Amino acid sequence: MFCLKTHTMFLLAGPIGYYAIAAARLPATLEGVYLDLLQACGDLWDKAITREELSGLRERVASAICGVERHLSAVELDIKLHNLLHLVDGIEMFGPLFAWAMFQPESIWGMLSRLAHSKVYMESSMFFSALDKEVTLKLRQSPEYAVLGRRDGDEDEVDPGMWDPETYLCEGLPVIRLGNIEEEMYRLGPTELEGLELLYQRYNKEGRVHSRCKIMKEIWVGEMKLQKGSWFLVRPDAEGDGLMWFGVVKALIRHKGPDRAIYEVVRADWFRGPSLQAQVDRRLRCPVVRSKPIKIPDGEWWFANAIVPWPCWAMPHPSKPSSAGLKVVLARHWHVTRFLSPYPRI
C-alpha cells in the first residue's frame, strides 16, 4: 500500500472519492476506515459550519484518525493526519477552513519558485520570467474582457455560487448561452406538441402552441453544458413532493411560446429516488435514483432555466448490482443541497 498523505484525502473528500473507495471492493474494515477519513476531511472543508456542529465534527475526526491508527500500516501515519484535530480548533477560533487554509498561498509560492532563475537577482528574475511568459503565451487580459467581467455596484460583491445555495439555486434564473443550432426548422409531432402544451400550462402560459422549433445540439445553463445524454438536477419546488428529480437530456429545442417569447426547452427521461427517505445514500453522501426512467404527469419537457446549473452524472451503485435497479448520482460535491427545502440534509 502506497502512502496516502492528508492532502490526497482532501482532494478525494467528496462524492467522487467516496465512490472510488466503495467501487474498489476493499475489505469491509478498510473501506470503512478510508470512507470515515474522507468524510471527515470533507466535513472539515464545509463552508457553513456552526458552533453547535463543532463537537460532532471533532468526534468524527478523532474517530477517523483512531481507525487509521488501528487498522492501517504505520506507513500511513503522518503528522498531517494528527493535525486534522488541530484544524477543528482552528475552525473554532478563526472560522471555516477555506478562509485561512494555506493551499492557495503554497500554490502561488510554487509558481513563483519556478520563475526564479537567479538566486542573486531573484526579484528581477521572477519579474522578467513572468513577463516573458505573458508575452509568449499572450496571457495579458484584454481591456474588453476586463470590462465585461466586472459587475455593477460594490467592487467586493461576490457572484452567487455553490456555497450560498439558496441564492444559487432558487433566486434568479441562470444565464442561458446557445451552442450549435440546426439551420432547418423542425416540426413537432402530435405527442411532442401535447407534452409541450402541458409544460406551458404548468407555468400559466395560455394560448396556441406552435409546432415549429429549432433543434439545438448544446446549450449552456450557467456554467453547465447540456447536450444529448447530459444529466441534470431540477430546481426545488416548494409545492413538490420533496423528492430530488433528475433528468437525462433527449433533445434540446428553441421554441416560441404562446406569449411569443423565445424559450429554450429540454426533453428528458426522468429519474428519482425510491422514496423520500431512501433518496440519499448516507454512506456515500450522494443522491440515489432508480436505474429505469419513470413517466410523470407533466410530460417529458422542462424549461432550461429551471435546471440547477450544477454538473452531475450517474453511475451504477457500487454496493448493489445493476439488477438491484439503483444508480448513484455523482458531482464534485453535494453541499449545494444541504440547507435547501425540500431537499434533505446530506
Sheet hosting strand 224-227, strand order edge to edge: 176-178, 218-221, 224-227
Report which of 220, 219, 217 is spatially closest to residue 181, judged by C-alpha positions.
Answer: 217
Q: Let me know if 342 is exposed, middle or buried by CB neighbors in 10 A (0-12, 13-18, 19+).
A: middle
In this structure, the answer to whether residues 88 and 131 fall within a common structural domain is no
Model pLDDT, residue 163: 52
Rounded to whole angstroms, the Cα distance separating 305 from 264 reads: 8
In this structure, the answer to whether residues 124 and 255 fall within a common structural domain is no
Higher-confidence residue of 283 and 33: namely: 33
Confidence of residue 125 (pLDDT cuts 50, 70, 90): confident
Model pLDDT, residue 279: 84
In this structure, the answer to whether residues 36 and 63 fall within a common structural domain is yes
Q: Say if 308 falls within a structural domain.
A: yes
Report which of 4, 9, 131 is spatially closest to residue 72, judged by C-alpha positions.
Answer: 4
In this structure, the answer to whether residues 181 and 271 fall within a common structural domain is yes
In this structure, the answer to whether residues 11 and 110 fall within a common structural domain is no
pLDDT at 38 over 80: yes
Residue-wise pLDDT for 176-228, tens only, equals: 888 777 667 889 999 889 889 999 988 888 888 889 999 988 999 888 899 99
Residue-wise pLDDT for 296-331, tens only, equals: 877 899 999 888 888 899 999 987 655 468 899 998
- Which among 76, 99, 122 is the end of a domain? 99
Q: How many domains does the chain have?
A: 3
Q: Say if 157 falls within a structural domain.
A: no
In this structure, the answer to whether residues 111 and 253 fall within a common structural domain is no
In this structure, the answer to whether residues 110 and 46 fall within a common structural domain is no
Confidence of residue 131 (pLDDT cuts 50, 70, 90): confident
| Mean pLDDT of all residues in 148-152 | 39
State the residue for C-alpha cell 478510508.
Answer: 34
User: Residue 319 has which C-alpha cell?
Assistant: 454496493
Domain that holds residue 121: 103-142
In this structure, the answer to whether residues 65 and 110 fall within a common structural domain is no
Q: Say if 155 falls within a structural domain.
A: no
Q: String of b and e for 240-266 (b: at least 16 CB within 10 Å)?
A: eeebbbbbbbebbbbbebeeeeebbbb
Q: Say if 152 falls within a structural domain.
A: no
pLDDT at 127 over 90: no
In this structure, the answer to whether residues 173 and 309 fall within a common structural domain is yes
How many alpha carbons lie under 13 Å from residue 137 in its C-beta half-sphere? 8
Q: Say if 156 falls within a structural domain.
A: no
User: Residue 207 has which C-alpha cell?
Assistant: 394560448
State the residue for C-alpha cell 470590462.
Answer: 147
**N- to C-terminal Cα distance for the chain?**
31
User: Residue 270 has which C-alpha cell?
Assistant: 426522468
In this structure, the answer to whether residues 85 and 201 fall within a common structural domain is no
Model pLDDT, residue 154: 44
Q: Say if 14 falls within a structural domain.
A: yes
pTM of the model: 0.77
For residue 136, the 8-state DSSP code is H
Q: Say if 150 falls within a structural domain.
A: no
Residue type, 313: W
Q: 54-71 and 79-94 helices cross at what angle (nearest 10)? A: 180
In this structure, the answer to whether residues 72 and 111 fall within a common structural domain is no
In this structure, the answer to whether residues 216 and 171 fall within a common structural domain is yes
Query: Taking a C-beta distance cutoff of 8 angstroms, is the pair 45, 333 a contact?
Result: no
Q: Say if 190 falls within a structural domain.
A: yes
Residue-wise pLDDT for 242-283, tens only, equals: 788 899 999 999 999 998 899 999 999 999 888 877 788 888
